[in-house]
Amino acid sequence: MSFETVSQARCFGGTQFVYRHASRETNTPMRLAVFVPPQAERAKVPVVWFLSGLTCTEENFTVKAGAQRAASELGLMLIAPDTSPRGEGVPDDPEGAYDFGLGAGFYVDAVEAPWAKHYRMRSYIERELPDLIAENLPADMSRQGITGHSMGGHGALTIALRNPDRFKAVSAFAPIASPLNCPWGEKALSGYIGSDRSAWRDYDACALIEGGARLPDLLVDQGTADSFLDSQLKPQLLEEACARAGQPLTLRRQEGYDHSYFFIASFIEDHLRWHARRLGA
């Protein structure tokens, strides 16, 4: 299966694409943004995935983070998938809430009706999309990193912890550190997965680390002025879980920064350089 090009634009010597394809996992059309750096004209290049947060699409990171300049310099391909399935027949939160349903796939494979048919973002990111990237783009899939923001930070951490052989570099911006212990996580996991909290542990970074999952190292940035810091994100739980397990973690509390893309734009170059060193870029 190939990608359909929705748009493309020259950018810092590379090309920013938006693609569309039919997904077998979500049973919907899916969109993704891909920045291909100029080095890809000569050889396959390492890949950094960015998973976005609640309410976002593939567009938010692409147009707001300012990541392409550094990615072009470093020779990194940036892949930004959508955050949930969309389209006719895809169910949404019946009350129209922003934290469940469309734009809030939570990077899980739902098992509860009516979500199970389409809401399979875990399998989409872990299995389907990597194969399509390898088939259609000049990507060196032996050198992959992953990062994300908020709900996407949760996705990046849990996907990497479940697939440690795939990712050589992992970071996050203001991740939901423990969905088992916050309102966003409890709503999403109970709705998509059901009431058995033991089944939620596969989608909780702290629980995965407690269960023995490990990464070579981990970089997390968290703004101290983030309005979701204490109620939803709880980075101290990740800090404590890593300390107990001996999991290397660099947690940087960035004074005065909030939850917005201004925060991400301020530190995205740091993260891309951190990934590039570990990916041999």
150 is catalytic: yes
The active-site residue out of 52, 72, 84, 150 is 150
Which tokens hold the place of 182?
A: 């916050």
Contact (Cβ atoms closer than 8 angstroms) between residue 139 and residue 115: no
- Cα atoms found within 13 Å of the Cα of residue 161, Cβ hemisphere only: 28
Q: Which residues contact 242 (CB under 8 A, 6 or more apart)?
A: 209, 218, 248, 249
Torsion of CA 32, 264, 208, 101, to 10 degrees: -50
7 is catalytic: no
Give phi and psi for 97, each to the nearest 5: -70, 150
118 is catalytic: no
The active-site residue out of 82, 109, 140, 226 is 226
The active-site residue out of 118, 149, 154, 259 is 259
Whole-number Å distance between alpha carbons of 144 and 247: 20
Whole-number Å distance between alpha carbons of 35 and 134: 15
Residues taking part in catalysis: 150, 226, 259
